[in-house]
């Protein structure tokens, strides 16, 4: 259950001021799943709004933590149906699928099947973003996006 470390770390990043200092910085949370993110963003925004004047962050964190998250942070998952149900609260551009091959806490060797099952109910565009497109953006692999468009790639093509 590595999400606990991710929660603490993400709050530290969002309230650190580092995203203001380094506006191109991006981070990803691997092996933490994503279902916890909406609550942390809601709570961080409330703390920022209500307490930033005396919390030592007023001059470092210039916008709500949820806005910083959307610009700088990716949440990765391999088995989190609840998290995908919350994709609108997390941000469809901030979620990416991961595999943890082979690892005791993974979906391998059924990763493809589980990815298909858990992305049911998402739009084709959301499925593409979650399974491929957001990782391309995160890693700045624009040649892959252009190749996908040129090939008319399907999300679950064989």
Kindly report the number of other CB atoms within 10 A of residue 147's CB atom. Answer: 12
Query: Is-cis flag, bond preceding 144, omega within 30?
Result: no
**Cβ within 8 Å of residue 50, ≥6 positions away:** none
Q: Which residue has the higher pLDDT, 73 or 142?
A: 73
Q: Where are the domains of the chain?
A: 3-151
**Percent of the chain whose predicted confidence (pLDDT) is above 90:** 68
Q: Please state, in angstroms and rounded to a whole number, the distance separating the CA atoms of residues 92 and 130.
A: 7
Measured at the CA of 75, the angle between CA 133 and CA 50, to 5 degrees, comes to 125
152 confidence band (pLDDT: 50, 70, 90): confident
41 confidence band (pLDDT: 50, 70, 90): very high
Mean pLDDT calculated for residue range 131-148? 90
Q: Please state, in angstroms and rounded to a whole number, the distance separating the CA atoms of residues 139 and 14.
A: 20
Instruction: Note the pLDDT of residue 155.
Output: 58
Residue 146 Cα distances to 26, 77, 122, 139, 142, angstroms: 22, 25, 23, 14, 6
Q: Which of 29-43, 55-69, 95-109 has the highest mean pLDDT?
A: 29-43
**Percent of the chain whose predicted confidence (pLDDT) is above 70:** 96
Range list of H helices, 15-110: 18-21, 37-51, 65-72, 81-85, 87-90
77 confidence band (pLDDT: 50, 70, 90): very high
**Cβ within 8 Å of residue 88, ≥6 positions away:** none
**Among 18-32, 76-90, 95-109, which is the least confidently predicted range?**
95-109
Mean pLDDT calculated for residue range 35-44? 97
Q: Which residue has the higher pLDDT, 100 or 114?
A: 114
Mean pLDDT calculated for residue range 98-106? 80
Q: Which has the closest alpha carbon to 77: 125, 10, 139, 135? A: 135
Q: Please state, in angstroms and rounded to a whole number, the distance separating the CA atoms of residues 1 and 7.
A: 11
User: Right CATH number for 3-151 from 3.40.50.300, 3.40.47.10, 3.20.20.140, 3.40.50.460?
Assistant: 3.20.20.140
Is the predicted pLDDT of residue 71 greater than 90, yes or no? Answer: yes
Q: Using CA of residue 112, residue 115, residue 155, residue 3, what is the dihedral sign?
A: negative
């Amino acid at each position: 259950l590595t999400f606990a470390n991710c929660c603490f770390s993400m709050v530290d990043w969002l309230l650190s001021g580092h995203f203001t200092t380094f506006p191109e910085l991006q981070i990803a949370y691997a092996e933490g799943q994503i279902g916890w993110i909406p609550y942390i963003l809601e709570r961080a925004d409330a703390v920022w709004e209500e307490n930033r004047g005396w919390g030592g962050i007023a001059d470092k964190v210039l916008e709500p933590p949820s806005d910083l998250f959307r610009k700088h942070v990716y949440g990765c998952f391999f088995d989190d149906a609840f998290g995908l149900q919350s994709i609108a609260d997390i941000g469809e551009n901030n979620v990416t699928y991961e595999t943890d091959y082979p690892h005791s806490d993974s979906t391998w060797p059924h990763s493809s099947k589980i990815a298909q099952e858990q992305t049911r109910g998402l739009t084709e565009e959301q499925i593409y973003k979650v399974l491929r497109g957001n990782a391309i953006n995160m890693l700045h692999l624009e040649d892959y996006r252009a190749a996908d468009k040129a090939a008319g790639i399907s999300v679950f093509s064989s």
